[in-house]
Structures are given as C-alpha cells and as structure tokens.
Structure 1
Amino acid sequence: MPNVQAERDGWEAEARVGVVVPHADVGPESEFQAIAPDDVFIHASRVHFAAMRAGGEMDPKIPHDPVRAFVEPPLIDDAVELLAASPLDVIALGFTSSAYVLGASGEKELFDRLARRTRGIPLTATTAAAVTGFTALGARRVAVVNPPWFDDRLSGLGADYFTEQGFTVVHHGPCGLPSNQKLITPKALSDWIRTTVADHRPDAVLVAGNGIRAVGVIQALEKELDFAVLTANQVLFWHALHLAGAGEAASRITGYGRLFGTAPQGGRS
C-alpha cells in the first residue's frame, strides 16, 4: 500500500476559538482570521442586533436600546450554548458597546449568567480583554477611540468603564470618520489616531468597536508612535488564545502589535 500524503484539512487545530457576533457584522471573523496562525481556527455564532440591517447597514449613530438588548436573554445565551456544544477551547463575545452600557459590574453579571451555558469553556469579551491587555503592558494612561457610530454618551460610558477599572482615560470619543463600515480605511484611521490621540501621550490606545476596520494599522502606528496600539478584535483574539491555553500560538503572531509578545499577568487571565 502506498503512503498517502494528506493535505491540510482543517482538523489539525492548536486551538479553536468561538466568537459571537452581531448578525450582519463580518468584522470580528475577518480580523480574527487575518491574525490567526494556520493552526488556530475560528467558529462563529450570530445574534440578531436590531441596529444593523442586511448588508451591514446601520444608522449614523446606533441607538442604545438595541445595544442593551443584544446581551439580554435568550438570544445570546442560546448562541453561546450552541457554540459551547462544539469542541471549542474558548468563546469570545465580539461586541464592545454592550459592556459600555452595562458597566463593569453588569458585564460580570453577564459573564456569570452565560457561564451556566458554556460547559466550562472559558469566556471573554472585548472590554474585559482590553483591561487584561492594558494591565499586561503596564499601561495606566489610556486613550479610547470609538467608532463613528457611537454617540458621545456611549463614548462617555466607555470612559467610565475603564475609569472604574483603575485606568486614567486621557482621551475618548467617536472618531471623525464616515459612519459606515465600508468607508473606513486604514489610512484614514491612522491619520485620525496620529493627529487626534498622539498629543495626549497615552501609554496605550484602544480602537474600540469590533465592527471597525483596524488591525491592519497596528504595526505601523506602534513603530511611529511611542505607545501601544490595541484594537477590539486584536485584544479579544489575544486574550482568547491565552484563555484557551494557546499562549505559544499567540507568541508566534507577528505584525499585529507588541501585545502578542506579552502574556497576561499570572498566565491565563
């Protein structure tokens, strides 16, 4: 019998990462996939988000009621449970604004509720991951660049979230770019951070919002500016890998910021 040389078939996983996303948003999956090594696989579940329409269209400023409704039972609970029925290593919530509305204590209650549906699979979300990332990098002065579809009140709630976690927020606000996912380019986002955030001299900046195109600018900005650059999907994926016990896979990732050369304090976090 001749030896069979098998091609890669997607079963050779170092880690399998589940991600819950709004029904019309491809951002988290796209950016996770761009960052992921060949042996890390992404598996998504979708939850209806009333502020988005077919094709990813949404209002210039998203209303807050759908943001809160996204994390209310039963839809997100069911989505997490369905993902957790698969042999995954971690589940990530690819949504930022709900944590802003809930606050840190409300987000913890959400995690506690969803943990009853995960079969013990670790769970993380963007803001919790950002707190872990800031801490791992030793960043205390932080700037938060929010998507243009966040209004000033939602941005303020985000600043409150990070202030409650002990960080000094030196700048926050929706970026002044077109409020349309398809119109945000790496150059435009880079220019905004360079001209609007750099003078505040943060230790790190977070480009929040999992639907904003952002991971492609990290490396160039960190080379130019004297602070770490975190983005919603980058830090969420980094934290997910460490929770999955795949820190070695995370350390092999290059081109997406100094964060991937850093481990959470205490290992898994």
Structure 2
Amino acid sequence: MNTVRAQKDGWEARARIGVVVPHADVGPESELQVMAPEDVFLHGSRVHFGAMRAGGEMDPKIPHDPVRAFVEPPHIDDAVELLAASPLDAIALGFTSSAYVLGASGEKALFDRLARHTRGIPLTGTTTAAVTGLNVLGAHRLAIVNPPWFDDRLSGLGADYFTEQGFTVVHHGPCGLPSNQKLITPQALSVWIRTIVAEHRPDAVLVAGNGIRAVGVIDALERELDVAVLTANQVLFWHALHLAGAGEIAQQITGYGRLFGRAPGGGQRPG
C-alpha cells in the first residue's frame, strides 16, 4: 500500500481564534496573522462601522455615534453568534473606541450580553486585554497613544477608562500623524512614542486603536527605551490565546514584546 505524504492543509490547528472587526478594516486581522505561529488560525467576522467607507476610508476624526452603534444589538450579537457556531477556542473583539465610549461598566454589560451568544467560548476585547496585560507587567504609570482619527474627547474617555481601572494616566492623546491608515509608518510612530516616553516617563505605553499599524515597532522600542510597549492587537491576541488555553503557544511568541513572555497568572517564560 502506498503511503500518502500529505502537505499541511490547515486542519492541524493548535488553537483557533475568532475576531470581530469593522467591515472595512484589515488592520486587526493583518497584525494578528503576522504574530500567529503557523499552527494558530484566525477566523474573522465583520460588522458594519458607519465611520468607514469602502476601501477603508475614514473622516479625519471619527464621530462617536457610529462608535457606539458598532456594539449595539443586533449586528455584533449576530456576528459573535455566527463565529461561535464554529469550533473556536476564543473570540476577540478587534475594536477599541467602543469601550472608551461605554466605559468599564458599559463594557462589562456588553460582554455579559454577548456571552449569551458564545456557546461558552471565552470572549475578550482590547481594553479588557490591556488592563490584564498592564497588571501582569506591574505597570502603573500609563501613556496612551491613540490613533489620529480619535478626537480629544474620545481620547479623554479612554483616559477615564484606565484611570477607573486604577492606572495613573500620565499622557493621552491622538498621535500627531496623518489621519489615514495607509500613511502611518512604523518609523513615524516610533518617533512619536520616543517623544512621549522622554517627556512623561511612563511604565508602559499603550498604542490604542486596532486599526493603527503598530505591532512592528514593539520589540525595537522596548529594547531601546526599556519601557513596556503594548498595542491593541498585541494585547488582544495575547489575552485570547491564554483564554483559549493556549498559554504555552503565547509564551513561545518572540519579537512582539515582553508581554508574550508573561501569563495572566504572573508566570514568566523560563530562560
């Protein structure tokens, strides 16, 4: 009998993570995919976001009504329920600004509502993951770098969110880069973060907003500045892997920040 030597075919997953994203945003899936080992698979579901147009175009500052509408029933509930019909290990909400608008209590109510649609699959979101990661790293003084399409009021709501969670927010604001996803470069973002760190001396920097190009600068900046650098998609992926019971996979990821060497229970990568 001839033995078939099969090529990889995508069925050998060690973990499957579902992610809910705005309909015209490729950023979260792109960044999660590049961080994922080859045996971790991502499965996306899209929800219409009224502040984005075809091709990913947005206004220079996004209005708040579409941000709130993104997490109102029924569309996000349907997206989560459809994802949860698949054999997934965790589901992640790839959207930051809704948590800013809702606040911590409103976000908890959102998660409680969505839990009715997940079939018991664990669910996380960017700000929840960020709080967990910051606590694991022992960070207290936090600088928040928001996307340029967040206005000052939205940025202030984000500062309120993290202050309520017990952090000292030493800086928050939209970064001074072009308000266009396609024009933000790792080099320009790095310069902005260096300036913020030099001026405010935080324990950690959080680059918020899942649509901003950010994961590529984490490792170099941590080495240079000796400050923890977290980004929306990095913390989301890290937390989702741990909720999926794939913490050993998360601790094997290198090049995307010291956070991946830590576990929510405080464990650290050996060596």
Residue matched to 1:114: 114
After superposition, residues 50-69 of structure 1 pair within 5 angstroms as 50-69=50-69
CA contact (8 A) 1:91 1:122 kept: yes
- In the alignment, the residues of structure 2 paired with residue 165 and residue 58 of structure 1 have an alpha-carbon distance, to the nearest angstrom, of 30
Residue matched to 1:2: 2
Residue matched to 2:153: 153
- In the alignment, the residues of structure 2 paired with residue 142 and residue 175 of structure 1 have an alpha-carbon distance, to the nearest angstrom, of 15
- In the alignment, the residues of structure 1 paired with residue 202 and residue 265 of structure 2 have an alpha-carbon distance, to the nearest angstrom, of 21
After superposition, residues 110-149 of structure 1 pair within 5 angstroms as 110-149=110-149
Residue matched to 1:15: 15
1:54 alignment partner AA: A
Deviation sequence 1:150-183 (CA, Å, 0-9, x none)? 0000000000000000000011000000000000
CA contact (8 A) 1:89 1:121 kept: yes
Residue matched to 2:213: 213
Deviation of 1:265 (Å): 2.5
2:27 alignment partner AA: G
1:26 alignment partner AA: V
CA contact (8 A) 1:135 1:265 kept: no
Residue matched to 1:90: 90
Q: Secondary structure at the match of 1:110?
A: helix
Q: Secondary structure at the match of 1:106?
A: helix
CA contact (8 A) 2:136 2:266 kept: no
Deviation sequence 1:57-107 (CA, Å, 0-9, x none)? 000000000000000000000000000000000000000000000000000
- In the alignment, the residues of structure 1 paired with residue 262 and residue 249 of structure 2 have an alpha-carbon distance, to the nearest angstrom, of 12
- In the alignment, the residues of structure 2 paired with residue 211 and residue 266 of structure 1 have an alpha-carbon distance, to the nearest angstrom, of 29
- In the alignment, the residues of structure 1 paired with residue 251 and residue 40 of structure 2 have an alpha-carbon distance, to the nearest angstrom, of 13
Residue matched to 1:228: 228
After superposition, residues 243-254 of structure 1 pair within 5 angstroms as 243-254=243-254
1:181 alignment partner AA: Q
Q: Which runs of 5+ in 2 are unaligned?
A: none
- In the alignment, the residues of structure 1 paired with residue 162 and residue 34 of structure 2 have an alpha-carbon distance, to the nearest angstrom, of 28
Deviation of 1:3 (Å): 1.3
- In the alignment, the residues of structure 2 paired with residue 125 and residue 5 of structure 1 have an alpha-carbon distance, to the nearest angstrom, of 40
Q: Secondary structure at the match of 1:116?
A: helix
- In the alignment, the residues of structure 2 paired with residue 102 and residue 256 of structure 1 have an alpha-carbon distance, to the nearest angstrom, of 29
Query: Structure 2-normalised TM-score?
Result: 0.97
1:115 alignment partner AA: A
1:206 alignment partner AA: L
Residue matched to 1:197: 197
Residue matched to 1:28: 28
Q: Closer, same or farther in 2 for the Cα pair 1:259/1:266, shift >3 Å?
A: closer
Deviation sequence 1:234-261 (CA, Å, 0-9, x none)? 0000000000000011011000000000
Q: Secondary structure at the match of 2:117?
A: coil
Residue matched to 2:257: 257
Query: Structure 1-normalised TM-score?
Result: 0.98
Q: Which runs of 5+ in 1 are unaligned?
A: none
- In the alignment, the residues of structure 2 paired with residue 10 and residue 32 of structure 1 have an alpha-carbon distance, to the nearest angstrom, of 17
Q: How many residues align?
A: 267
- In the alignment, the residues of structure 1 paired with residue 250 and residue 199 of structure 2 have an alpha-carbon distance, to the nearest angstrom, of 31
- In the alignment, the residues of structure 2 paired with residue 96 and residue 174 of structure 1 have an alpha-carbon distance, to the nearest angstrom, of 13
1:214 alignment partner AA: A
Deviation of 1:266 (Å): 6.6
